[in-house]
């Protein structure tokens, strides 16, 4: 159940949550950028220290293995992905290390990952780290810095995958509770998982697991503008993506859309969507929206039914295709 206090804090002040849903991979070695550049969909080789990007890792058939946030730290790369995929992703990446100077490691159990979101996040994080607020506000999307924190280093990245702009903070594993205590002392509220999910769905941010899986082509999920470089060289799965874009004019069989639902019942993931008697899609994520005061969902529907305003049905109730995001992010 959504917490009204946590929701207000995340939208209008600051709120923090420990991210148990994310896995962490470290990629070291002189060839780390060129190695990942040939595997992932975005431009990795051009990343300079302090920069990052969002990317996907695809099969040769153009379907997703996972998505990742990739951060060049200067001496190594930190990549975050859905925790459930971490071991499989590491094993697949390791298969492509031949003569390259690349070392891979799963550091999920070495670091804790804390997300801090909301318009007051820069001020709250500046108090935690004893840094100028302007330094944190100046970080671009996916920008990162190593900053001192009570005798150790904290990796700070600009992030927004929870749907509200903010920061991710990576510290040694046993420091997470202390970080949360200090953030709350500086004015952040506790952000519970249910409230974080409501904010994410309102923002229309798909996650690998609920909204993207091994059958998903990035173009279906609508992440291509953020995750794919159309000027870089080859990467795994590129041929399929280019064929769909150029020969198929970007048309895919289904697309991820937003749905605004009548009634008060929040549908379960996997619930069928119909147009009349015809099955045309399914729900992936659904919440009761605090902003709209009604159920909303992310869902895949067949391409003939993706136009905003299209009327469909879910469990016999009316569902209207809604423009994403449902609620605009605050910059």
Neighbours of 230 (CB within 10 A): 12
Q: Residue 57: what are its φ and ψ, rounded to 5°?
A: -115, 120
- Domain check: are 277 and 183 in the same one? no
What confidence tier does 247 reach under pLDDT thresholds 50, 70, 90? Answer: confident
Query: Looking at the domain assignment, is residue 137 inside a domain?
Result: yes
CATH code where residue 108 lies = 3.30.1360.120
Q: In what order do the strands lie in the sheet with 189-190?
A: 144-149, 152-159, 166-172, 111-117, 15-18, 189-190
Same domain, 171 and 213: no
**Helix, strand or coil for residue 255?**
strand
Number of residues that this document lists for the chain:
331
Q: For residue 256, is it within any domain?
A: yes
β-strand 64-72 against 103-106: which pairing, if any? unpaired
Which of 175, 199, 223 lies at the terminal end of a domain, its last residue?
199
Query: In sequence order, what are the residues at sequence separation of 6 or more whose Cβ sits closer than 8 angstroms to the Cβ of residue 111?
Result: 24, 155, 170, 171, 172, 173
Same domain, 178 and 254: no
- Per-residue confidence (pLDDT) for residue 234, from 0 to 100: 94
Last-in-domain residue among 140, 164, 199: 199
Same domain, 27 and 106: yes
Q: Which of 163, 164, 171, 159 is nearest to 128 (CA)?
A: 171
- Express as a percent the part of the chain with pLDDT over 70: 99
Residues 134 and 268 in one domain: no
Same domain, 8 and 157: yes
Co-location of 18 and 128 in the same domain: yes
Q: How wide is the angle at C-alpha 23 spanned by C-alphas 182 and 1, nearest 5°?
A: 65
In a domain, 57, yes or no: yes
Task: Note the pLDDT tens digit of each residue in 133-170.
Answer: 999 999 999 999 999 999 999 999 999 999 999 999 99
Residues 223 and 275 in one domain: yes
Same domain, 19 and 135: yes
pLDDT > 90? residue 327: yes
Residue with tokens 């709209």: 292
Q: What is the CATH number of the domain that holds 275?
A: 2.40.30.110
Residue with tokens 């639902």: 261
> Which of 165, 199, 233 is the endpoint of a domain?
199
Quick: pLDDT tens for 89-148: 999 999 999 999 999 999 999 999 999 999 999 999 999 999 999 999 999 999 999 999
pLDDT per residue over 188-202, tens digit each?
Answer: 999 999 999 999 999
Domain co-membership, 77 together with 169: yes
> Which residue range is the domain that position 283 belongs to?
202-322
* Cβ–Cβ < 8 Å for 15, 3: no
Indicate whether 183 and 262 sit together in one domain: no
User: How far apart are alpha carbons 43 and 242 in whole angstroms?
Assistant: 16
Residues 283 and 152 in one domain: no
What pLDDT, in 10s, does the model give residues 308-321? 999 999 999 999 99
pLDDT digits (tens, 9 = 90+) for 216-246: 999 999 999 999 999 998 999 999 999 998 8
Q: Is residue 328 in some structural domain?
A: no
Three-class secondary structure of residue 265 per DSSP: coil
pLDDT at 250 over 90: no
DSSP H or E stretch at residue 5:
helix 4-12
Burial of residue 263 (CB within 10 Å: 0-12, 13-18, 19+) is: middle
CA dihedral angle for residue 183, residue 186, residue 192, residue 195, rounded to 10 degrees:
-130
Angle at 10 between CA 4 and CA 15, to 5 degrees: 105
DSSP-assigned states of every residue in 134-151: HHHHTPPTT-EEEEEETT
Cα first-last separation, the chain? 26
Asked if residue 329 is part of any domain, the answer here is: no
Domain annotation covers residue 285: yes
Rounded distance between C-alpha atoms, residue 123 and residue 116, angstroms:
11
pLDDT at 331: 47
Cα–Cα dist 206/212, whole Å: 7
Query: Number of structural domains, the chain?
Result: 2
Looking at residue 330, what is its pLDDT? 60
Which three-class secondary structure string do you get for 107-118?
CCCCEEEEEEEC
Instruction: Specify if 327 maps to a domain.
Output: no
| Cα radius of gyration rounded to whole Å, the chain | 20
């Amino acid at each position: 159940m959504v917490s009204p206090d946590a929701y207000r804090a995340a939208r209008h002040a600051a709120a923090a949550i420990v991210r148990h849903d994310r896995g962490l991979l470290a990629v070291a070695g002189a060839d780390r950028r060129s190695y990942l550049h040939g595997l992932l969909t975005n431009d990795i080789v051009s990343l300079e220290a302090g920069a990052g990007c969002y990317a996907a890792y695809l099969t040769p058939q153009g379907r997703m293995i996972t998505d990742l946030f990739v951060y060049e730290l200067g001496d190594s790369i930190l990549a975050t992905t859905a925790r459930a995929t971490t071991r499989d992703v590491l094993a697949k990446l390791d298969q492509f290390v031949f003569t390259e100077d690349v070392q891979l490691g799963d550091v999920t159990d070495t670091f804790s990952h804390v997300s801090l979101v909301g318009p007051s996040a820069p001020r709250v994080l500046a108090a935690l780290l004893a840094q100028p607020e302007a330094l944190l506000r100046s970080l671009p999307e996916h920008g990162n810095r190593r900053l001192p924190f009570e005798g150790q280093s904290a990796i700070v990245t600009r992030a927004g995958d929870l749907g509200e702009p903010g920061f991710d903070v990576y510290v040694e594993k046993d420091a997470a509770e202390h970080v949360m205590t200090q953030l709350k002392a500086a004015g952040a509220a506790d952000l519970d998982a249910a409230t974080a999910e409501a904010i994410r769905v309102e923002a229309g941010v798909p996650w690998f697991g609920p909204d993207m899986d091994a059958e998903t082509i990035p173009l279906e999920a609508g992440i291509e503008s953020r995750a794919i470089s159309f000027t870089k060289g080859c990467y795994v799965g590129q041929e399929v993506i280019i064929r769909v874009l150029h020969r198929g004019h970007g048309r895919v069989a289904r697309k991820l859309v937003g749905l605004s639902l009548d009634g008060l019942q929040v549908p379960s993931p996997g619930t069928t969507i119909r147009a009349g008697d015809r099955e045309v899609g399914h729900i992936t994520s659904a919440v009761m929206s605090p902003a709209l005061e009604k159920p909303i969902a992310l869902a895949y529907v067949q391409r003939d039914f993706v136009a905003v305003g299209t009327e469909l049905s879910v469990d016999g109730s009316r569902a209207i295709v809604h423009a994403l995001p449902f609620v605009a992010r605050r910059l």
